[in-house]
Amino acid sequence: MKLLAALLVSLCLGAAFAAEPAAGAGTFGAHGFIEYVAGDLPLIIAAPHGGRLKPAEIPDRTSGVVDIDANTQELARAIASVVHAETGRHVHLILCHLHRSKLDANRDLAEAAQGSALAEHAWQEHHAFISQACASAVKHFGVAFLIDLHGHGHADSRLELGYLHDSLDLADCEEALNQSTFINAGSLRWIAQRSTLSYTELLRGPRSLGALLEREGFHATPSPRMPVPTGPFFRGGYTIQHHCKAALSITGLQIEAHRPRLRDTDENRLAFSRALVKSLAAYFPLHLGIRLDEPRRLIEAQ
């Protein structure tokens, strides 16, 4: 039955996306639980834990984390708004409107939905929309950069950048971190295969995303200031593990944002959004060979 349900979801979404939606156009899954706003950039932002819907027909999850990542959906929209204001273009947005007590879209299906057919259907839609967005980005730009956006409640107010390496991994020697086996386990493999920089430089050097964010006033790890995160630290979860495949030309990371002075108010969310977009505007030409404001022109010139 689960296989049949997954097939039906795939068929329905395939029909819905036979023609690519216009950039900025929004659509919802079958029950309105998952929202997809199409983009015209190689940037995809997913927010799986910011939903507030608690439909009675979906039982509460009885194990795992069930708390909301407060204001992450609003933060994702703020980032998208800043991108549009500064470039005239749209990021791809995938938003789960279900509360985490009903669905955890950043886990494998069994843990995510815990047997609820409706939750399973929403999970399938969430990841199908991400796949659709990434495929569109790769088709038009040759690469997709996926950010899975979360919020943490750790004592240290910092951005945690999850490339699928935990803090113990990152504490290893430089030689070990630059080995192909370590690189291949991370979410930046597509970039690493094309970069003249060492992998440790990509993770935490002066041109890493952590360094660029710190330059804009937001503490981040890994970065030159904190190359090895102190614990606890979120390394990146199911979504990044499942979707960031170099063979599919998909790269990216999980961003865990602290709440105080970042996610807590409209003003702070806007300030961080501007800092992140400025950082990405520097990061994309350095590591993807693409400018956010004129992506097609750069691609055509290569």
Total number of domains in the chain: 1
Distance separating alpha carbons of residues 18 and 40, to the nearest angstrom? 17
CB 215 within 8 A of CB 209: no
In a domain, residue 85? The reply is yes
- The answer to whether residue 4 is domain-embedded is no
* Position 258 in a domain: yes
Residue 10 lies in a domain: no
CATH code at 208? 3.40.630.40
Residue 1 lies in a domain: no
Indicate whether 145 belongs to any domain.
yes
Domain of 125 in residue numbering reads as 24-296
Does the residue 3 lie in any domain? no
CA dihedral 10, 16, 19, 24 (to 10 degrees): -110
| Position 17 in a domain | no
Per-residue pLDDT of the chain (302 residues; tens, 9 = 90+): 444 444 444 444 544 445 789 998 999 999 999 999 999 999 999 999 999 999 999 999 999 999 999 999 999 999 999 999 999 999 999 999 999 999 999 999 999 999 999 999 999 999 999 999 999 999 999 999 999 999 999 999 999 999 999 999 999 999 999 999 999 999 999 999 999 999 999 999 999 999 999 999 999 999 999 999 999 999 999 999 999 999 999 999 999 999 999 999 999 999 999 999 999 999 999 999 999 988 654 444 33
Q: Tell me if residue 39 falls in helix, strand or coil.
A: coil
* pTM of this prediction exceeds 0.85: yes
What is the pairing mode between strands 250-258 and 159-162? antiparallel
